[in-house]
Structure 1
Amino acid sequence: MKLVVKDNSLINASYSLGLVEQRIMLLAIVEARETGQGIDTDTFLEVHAQHYADRFDIDVNNAYSMLSEATQTLFNRQVTYTVHDEKRNKPEKRVVRWVSGISYVEGAGVVKLRFAPEVVPLITRLEKNFTSYELGQVKNLNSYATRLYEILVSWRSVGKVTISLEELRNNLGLIDEYSRLEAFKRRVLDLALNQINKHTDITAQYEQHKEGRVVTGFTFRFKIKRDKKKGAIDVGERDADTADMFTVEGLNDKQLGRIVRNPMFMAEYNHLVSPTSPAGQSQQGWDFEMVNRLKRDASQFNKRPIRDYLEY
C-alpha cells in the first residue's frame, strides 16, 4: 500500500495548497517511506514527473509542466496551527512554511524539496494521534475534497465529527473565498462530498447546525465501504453515553459536555476563543467547540486534571 501518514494536529491545522502542490507533498511523504530514506530537516526529497504521472493517471508531458509551475509557488505556502505558550499560559497561533527549500531540475522533471523543521515532527511522529491512508484514495479528488477526506478519516474509529463553520473554512484554507454559505456549500462542500463518495473508501453525509437562521457548524457522518454485495460498514452509530478512542480519559460526550459548561472551566479557558466566533457568542457554540477541542488535543487543557471539573 502507498501510505500517507500525517500527525492529526497537522491535518486539523489551517493550510491552503493547490491540487498539484498537495499531490507533490503527499508523494514526497510516500516515496520517502517506500525508499527507506525517511524525512528530516536536512534531506532533499525527490518527486519525479513519471512517478507523479503514474500515481495520478495523467500524461507525463503534462506532469513536467505541472511540477515546474508548482515549484514556483510551493515555497511561499504556509500552514497555521496553534501551540500553547507555557510562559504566558496563552494560546499562540504559529505560521510556518511547508518547505524550507525547493527546486526543479529542468529537463529531468524532478522536484527536490526539504520539509521545514516545524513540519517534519508532524509528519514523522506516529506514537500518538495519527492518520494513515492510501494515496490512491485521493488520486481523483480536488484539493478541497482531499482536505475534507483527511479530516474525516482522522475520525475513522468514530464515524462522525462535529466542526464549526469557521473552523471548517479555516481547515480548508478558505479566507475570503466563497464567503456566502450557498456558494460555500455548492462550490466546495457538496462537490467535495460527491467526489469522496464516488472515489474513496468512505461514503459521507452532513447535517448543519443553526442558531436561529444562522448556520454555525456541521456534523459529518460516514461509513467505510465494503464490497457492493456486503454493503458498508457503519462506524458512526454511537450514543453520547459511550466513550470512544478520541475522547479524554474514557469520558463520554455527556461528561465532556458537563466539563466544558463548568463555570471554572469556562473561566480558565475562555481565552481560547474569539468573542466574535460562534463559540464566543452562545453556550451551544461553546459546547461543541470545546468538546471537539478536548477530543482532538486535550494537552492544551492542562490547568488541572480534566476530571476535577466533574466534582464542582
Structure 2
Amino acid sequence: METPPMVYKSNALIEAAYRLSLQEQRILLACISQVRRDEVVTDEVLYSVTAADLAQLSGTAIEAAYSELKTAALRLKRREVRLTEEPNGKGRKPKVMITSWVQTIIYCEGEGRVELRFTKDMLPYLTELTRQFTKYALADVAKMNSAHAIRLYELLMQWDSLGRREIELDQLRDWLQLESRYPSIKDFKKWVIEPAVAQINEHSPLQVSWSQRKTGRRVTHLVFDFGPKKPAKVSRKSLTKRNDSESNAELAALARPGESWEQLRDRLNRMSKVD
C-alpha cells in the first residue's frame, strides 16, 4: 500500500504565531508534504501544486479552487510567521525570529498552478527533523474548511502520545494571531473553538472533547482530551471475500500510514475478536 503524503513540522513551527487563510494553509501543506526526507533540501527547490490537486484533496469544486488559487498564492508571499526558540541553558532568554514562509511565488497563468520556494530560514523547521517534531497525514486535514481547525489539530497531534493538552487561552490567541478579534470567551468559543473541534471530529482520525479551566473567576485555560476514533466494524467475511474497488476504498480509509493490506486486515480482525 502506498504511503500517503505526510506533513512534518518542527514543534517550534507548530507553536509559531501566524495567521493564514484556509486556501493559504492548503497550498502550504500540499507543498510541505512534498519535502523530501531522504536527502538534503536547499532553498532552490521549487514545489508545485495545482487547483486540481487542491480540489481533489479537499473534495471541493475545481472552479472554486481555480478562482481562489492565484489570490491566495499572492497573499501567501506577504505572510509572516513568528517563531520562538527556547533557550539552551539557564538564564538565557528565548530567541524570537520573524520570517516569511516563502521567498518566491510563481503563478502559472492558464494552468491553475502555483510554484513556490520556501525561505532559507524556514527549511530547518520542515526538513531533516530528528527530534521535537510533529507529523500527520495530509488527508487528516485536507477536507477541513476552517483554518483554525487545522491549527488546533496540529497542536493536538503534537501531544498525540498523551491524548490530552491544556493550552493557556492567551497563548492560543497569540498562536492564532487573533489580535483583538473575539475578545469575550463566549465569542471565542462560538467562532473559534467549537467550529474547530467539530471539523476535527468530522474530518480527522481524532475524536476530541474539551473543557475550560478558570483561575479565580476568569477562564484562563482550555483542556482538550482526544484519541483515535474507533474504526467501524468490518466482518471477516467482508475482509476475505469482497475484492471490488468499493470495499478496497473503505478499507484504505481505515489504514494507518505505511500499513500494508495484510497488516490492516490482521489488525481489524483482532479488533473484531475483541469486540
Task: Please tell me the TM-score bracket, short chain as reference.
Answer: 0.7 to 0.9
Residue 26 of structure 1 aligns with an amino acid whose one-letter code is L
Structure 1 length normalisation: TM-score?
0.69
- Tell me: CA distance 1:125–1:55, structure 2 relative to 1, closer, same or farther (3 Å): same
Are the aligned partners of 1:148 and 1:172 in contact in 2 as well (CA < 8 Å)?
no
| Unmatched segments (≥5 aa) in structure 1 | 231-312
Identify the match of residue 183 of structure 2 among 166, 173, 179.
179
In the alignment, which of 16, 19, 24 is matched to residue 16 of structure 1?
A: 19
* Corresponding position: 1:160 with 2:172: no
Q: Does 1:91 align with 2:94?
A: yes
User: What RMSD over aligned residues (CA atoms) do the two structures have, in Å?
Assistant: 2.2
Distance across 2 between alignment mates of 1:85 and 1:150? 23
* Structure-2 residue corresponding to 1:243: none
Superposition TM-score, scaled by structure 2 size = 0.77
Which residue of 2 is the match for residue 42 of structure 1?
Answer: 44
- For 1:147, the equivalent position in structure 2 comes to 151
How far did residue 172 of structure 1 move? 2.1
CA distance in 2, matches of 1:186, 1:145: 13
For 1:55, the aligned partner's letter is L
The higher-RCO structure (CA 8 Å, 6+ apart) is 2
Cα distance in 1 for residues equivalent to 2:40 and 2:233: 40
Q: Do residues 200 (structure 1) and 204 (structure 2) align?
A: yes
Deviations 1:13-52 (A, max 9, x none): 1111100000000001223449x89743122211112212
Task: Tell me the CA shift for residue 79 of structure 1.
Answer: 0.9
In structure 1, the residue matched to 2:231 is 227
SS in 2 for 1:168: helix
In the alignment, the residues of structure 2 paired with residue 65 and residue 21 of structure 1 have an alpha-carbon distance, to the nearest angstrom, of 13
SS of match in other structure, 1:169: helix
Shift of 1:126: 2.1
Aligned to 2:245: none
Q: Give the distance between the partners of 1:155 and 1:222, measured in 2 at CA.
A: 10
Is there any run of 5+ residues in structure 2 with no aligned partner, and where?
235-275
Q: Which of 105, 128, 136 in structure 2 is aligned with 1:133?
A: 136
1:125 positional shift: 3.1
What is aligned with 1:67?
69
Aligned positions of 1:242-253 closer than 5 A? none
Q: Which amino acid aligns with 2:59?
A: D
Question: What amino acid does structure 2 have at the position aligned with 1:226?
Answer: K
User: In the aligned structure 1, how far is the partner of 2:16 from the partner of 2:35?
Assistant: 22
Contact 1:32 1:38 in 2 (8 A): no
- Partner of 1:219, secondary structure, is strand
- SS of equivalent to 2:111: coil
Q: Rate the CA distance shift 1:155–1:85 in 2: closer, same or farther, 3 A.
A: closer
Give the Cα separation in 2 of the matches to 1:193 and 1:211: 23
Q: How many pairs are equivalent?
A: 229
CA distance in structure 1 between the aligned counterparts of 2:83 and 2:211, rounded to whole angstroms: 26
Tell me, in whole angstroms, the C-alpha distance in 2 between the residues paired with 1:201 and 1:127. 24
